[in-house]
Structure 1
Amino acid sequence: MKRKQQNGTAKAPAKKAKRKSVVIEPIHINPKYNEKKYRQEFRKGLDASNKPFPHWQLRNFVENSGNVVEKVEEELQNFEDWQRKENDLYSLYQSNDLKSIAPAKHPAIFSFRQFLYKEVKEWLQNVSGVELIDQVDCNGSCYARTDSLLPHNDLIDTRRFAFVYYLTSPNWDSELNGGDLQLFNHDGNLQPTTVATQFSPLRNSLMLFEVSQTSWHRVSEMISEEPRLSINGWFHSSRRLEPKKPTVESIARFVPENSCKLAKIVNKEYLKAKRQEEVQKTFSDSSELNLVQFLNQKLHDQVYDELLSTPSVFETVGPVSKRHVARLNEKNLSFPSTALVIEALKSKNFANLASKLTGVTVAGAQTSVKVSRIEHGSYWVLGDEDAEQNAADGYCLDVHVYVQKSGWPDESGGEMIYIEEGETEELLRISPSPNTMSIVFREPSVLSFLKYANCNSADPFFLFTVCFHNVQVAE
């Protein structure tokens, strides 16, 4: 019996929204990849002759008779769970693993996931002759302007084949958009060297390669607003390979012994005892600070002009899986102003000044000095070998002196970033600023890297870095 309203009229119960039935459309591999002739062709790709390592570009991989490609693309474009991912190695938007995708909400993506788990996995076993285990990892990725993925080899645990299925625009132009997949040659130490070949992210193509110690690859920087959309991941086997660690870059160390007058080099304000006391108090509260107008301005400008005018005094160092940055070769240095600053930074007078500004005892500490030219494409990333070196170096005092003509645009990369080992949240981000000295007291578990300088970057800047290793810490 219906309940009557106060005015005596009955109100009909609200109609329930009708639930639409879930339609899971089957997705299949293009029949040409199941032909016997193609299986033989695929096996040839596993040979060592497939340089730089076994890889395949499979055009028109999905049979698209029901426009399933467009349906998967549309669901990914409207996906609500994209997460921004940024660290020393990459910057992009990414989904969680698609194993938890709900078929009622995302039927096309769910169907594609099942397609990977079953049909593609079985096909890959047959054409490769490699027995795969049940584990398949897959997630959605979207690269926007300035996003990139730096060189790496994917060698983790039992990964055997990496795959990327592209859902990009039909007329993708790599010259306008960037975003190519680049495969690298390697040297005798199995470290990456130069780009051997590269592939545009073509719509409805599957890029596949075998994961190994030498499967070095990267996604080149995106230079347009056109999204680079894909579903990517790994097929696994029972095989395990140990990655080969690269060596840590060797920077000469010394104990400062030479004397140098700082009055003509450093802003006289920072040579005053009262100012030093104020700076030290600030530093003791935060273990980091920035000192503006640190160098004599005229000298600063002369150094900038000297270094900018002759790029040949810099040498690009690698391997590209670790860094791509130009370091000053002091053997070729003939610039008086630059030589004067380097001499000052290496002196016991500067070490004494660093102690007075921070309260950290650096007397007798092993010291290193390096000068870098930072510009579009510069970066260095972290690895286990860096953590091991940091542990051996103990507590350190890092001093970064920025020599640059103008401000560095926001969202350009090129920042010095400090993080705790094993953590993803940043502890500190230092943005480049003209004639500024940044000082950081670093614990053994804290690592630092230079964020990739992207296409928004302006004129180059020069970074003078002094590090005092294994400094004394008051109990």
Structure 2
Amino acid sequence: MFQINRRWDEKSEQIGTKRTPFLWQFCPDFIASPESLKLLRKELRDKVKFRNKSNDLYNLDQTTDLQTVQKIKKLPVLGQFLKFMQTSVREWVIKQTGFDLTDQLSITGSRYSKGDYLLPHDDRNSNRKVAFVLYLNDMTAEDGGSLRLFGTDGNNFPDGVIEEKSPHFNDLCFFEVSEKSWHEVKEVLGKAKRWSVNGWFHVKEQIDLKRVAVKTLPISLNEETFDFEDYLSPDCLNDKLMAGRRREFEKNSYIAINNFLKPDVLEKVKQGLKQSEYSVEGPWHKYKQFVRSGDIKNGNSITAHLTNFFQSKQLMTYFSVITGLHFVDIPGIVTSLETAEDDHDLPGPSKKARMENQDCGKKKSSTTFKAFKMSQGCYKLADDQVLDTTIDQGYSLDVKFFITDDQWKDKDGGYTSYIAAFEKSEILRLKPVDNVAYITFKEPKCLDITRYIGSAAGEKEYSCFNVCYHGIDPPVGDDSEDEE
């Protein structure tokens, strides 16, 4: 029922060995009888269950491994197809690649609907050696859903598209799985669904998963003196409101401060951001965002002043006061706050944490800062390397300040999700809201991702000033010792 098209089966040379930066090949009209593939598609559509799979890297519907589908004996077309893949196709791939593949086969059915995508990744896992995808329907460039293969830079990070193909019925693509095999599936834009069967052939040896780490360098906080009243709205300096926010933070470990900047300052910043020059920043397997490239060092611009403000020790002190995380010595910059605390308008010092100094704590204190813009196609991912970095940084106070002229919905993407490592449930979700500063206390295994911004967002965009203080001592005491 299933046979390889003679066009490909009679190829004597290895058709993919000259491809760079990794071995890959597209094979149009791969199966000799297209009618048999149509029967397979119908069987998958009508009789095999697809489940939604969604995380920071992808969103699509997929089957379990097709070899484990229940009542496989009642799916004769699928049964014959699996045997065809395990024998004829595997042997053909061995001939084309020279790889010593085992009998192991991993294979699933995938269905992408409008808005679905798969972001850049290299497929490396366990003993995978050759990846493949066989398309079950046609799609145009306007439909989206194309497969994109990336080149690599000196660190073997994805760097520029070297090949892009829209799905075409009965086309097979296969490629070697390696540290250079970066690829993605572009977002599906139209009503047409993207149907395929895909998976991997394996070898005995385990693949080396080592990769060059992407590090965010810490900054040195500046000693510049700022007048809070020049930047922050009156609400941010109101004793009673700050006392309430502090109680809320101690209860929930995060707060949202609305109307963070004064209206006139906010408007000037927005104008400055619109006039700024931007460049796209990666690497793509970690994040895609835009950073200012034209006015960062211009000390007279309002955006430069705000950047310096966010990188100041003085603002860190403000966040220390408002959260009760006394990770710095508070020199009484905000006198009214000290008075309020004496009058019991503010709770006593929090027992949650204190920034490490030379005499206490195990984690080295540090601060990271990033100012960036996000729009359609942008995202931020998490992986094992990010987890290792987060654990090494220890407990952190994460501050994200958003500027946007748009109303963001969940379907647009672009929101921040805080997730615990190895857990599926979301701890906290933060939408980008204009002039709102979110302050979140992060435990070492807490990761923050930014959901892919899809076509539903249209022309929406936002800017974010993100400062994070790391190396805070872990919580001490227990609930019985906490103040009422």
**8 Å contact kept, 2:296–2:304:** no
Structure 2 CA distance for partners of 1:464 and 1:286, relative to 1, 3 Å:
same
- Post-superposition offset of 1:109: 2.6
Q: Could you report, residue by residue, the CA deviation over 1:66-105 in whole angstroms, capped at 9, with x for unpaired residues?
A: x222222122223552221121211111111111122244
| Equivalent residues in 2 for 1:29-428, closer than 5 Å | 29-35=4-10, 38-40=11-13, 43-46=14-17, 49-64=18-33, 67-79=35-47, 81-101=49-69, 102-169=71-138, 172-174=139-141, 176-255=142-221, 257-310=223-276, 312=277, 314-329=278-293, 331-333=296-298, 336-363=301-328, 365-428=365-428
SS at match of 1:290: strand
Secondary structure class of the residue paired with 2:175: strand
> CA–CA distance in 1 between the matches of 2:423 and 2:451?
16
Contact 1:405–1:461 (Cα < 8 Å) also in 2: yes
8 Å Cα contact 1:29-1:63 kept in structure 2: yes
For 1:205 and 1:257, locate their aligned partners in 2 and report how far apart those are by CA, in whole Å: 61
CA distance in 2, matches of 1:109, 1:303: 59
Deviation at 1:207, TM superposition (A): 0.6
Q: 1:195: how far off?
A: 0.5
- Cα deviation code 1:421-440 (max 9, x no counterpart): 12232222211111111111
Report the Cα offset of residue 298 of structure 1. 2.3
1:461 and 2:462 correspond: yes
Query: Who is 1:471 aligned against?
Result: 472
Q: Percent identity?
A: 29
User: Alignment length, in residue pairs?
Assistant: 438
Partners of 1:188 and 1:258 lie apart in 2 by 39
Partner SS state of residue 245, structure 2: helix
SS at match of 1:456: helix
| Cα distance change of structure 1 residues 444 and 62 upon mapping to structure 2, 3 Å threshold | same
Give the 3 Å change call, closer, same or farther, for CA 103–392 of structure 1 in structure 2.
closer
The answer to whether the 8 A contact 2:222-2:308 is kept is no
CA distance, structure 2, for counterparts of residue 306 and residue 281 of structure 1: 35
Describe the shift of the 1:383–1:448 C-alpha distance in structure 2 as closer, same or farther (beyond 3 A).
Answer: same
1:297-346: per-residue Cα shift (whole Å, max 9, x none)?
22112212211232x2x332222122221123464446632223222222
- Counterpart in the other structure of 1:13: none
Cα distance in 2 for partners of 1:191, 1:389 equals 18
TM-score under structure 1 length normalisation: 0.87
Give the Å deviation of 1:44: 4.2
Tell me, yes or no, if the aligned pair for 2:140 and 2:167 is still in contact at 8 Å.
Answer: no
Cα 1:103–1:351 change in 2 (3 A) is same
C-alpha distance 97-335 of structure 1, shift in aligned 2 (>3 A): farther
The residue identity in structure 2 corresponding to 1:30 is: N
CA gap 1:261/1:472 in 2 versus in 1, 3 angstroms:
farther
CA deviations over 1:246-277 (Å, ceiling 9, x no partner): 33243442245332111121121121221111
Contact 1:251 1:370 in 2 (8 A): no
* Cα separation, 2, equivalents of 1:83 and 1:239: 31
Q: Output one character per residue of 1:143-198: Cα deviation in whole Å (capped at 9) or x when no partner.
A: 112221111111212111100010123xx211x11111111111222221111111
Amino acid at match of 2:307: I
Q: Is the 8 A contact 1:166 1:206 kept in 2?
A: yes
How far apart are the structure 2 equivalents of 1:289 and 1:115? 57
- Indicate conservation of the 8 Å contact 1:179/1:228, yes or no: yes
Alpha-carbon separation, structure 2, partners of 1:341 and 1:400: 13
Equivalent position amino acid for 1:137 in 2: S
Secondary structure of 1:374's match?
strand
Using the size of structure 2 for normalisation, the TM-score is: 0.86
Describe the superposition over 1:378-417 as per-residue Cα deviations: whole angstroms up to 9, x where unpaired.
1121222211211111000000000111212431111111
Specify the code of the residue in structure 1 equivalent to 2:100: E
SS in 2 for 1:407: coil
Residue aligned with 2:229, SS: coil
C-alpha change, 1:224 and 1:246, in structure 2 (3 Å) is farther
Structure 2 partner of 1:10: none
Write the letter of the residue equivalent to 1:95: T
Name the CA shift for 1:439/1:105 in 2 (closer, same or farther; >3 Å): farther
Q: What amino acid is the match of 1:408?
A: W
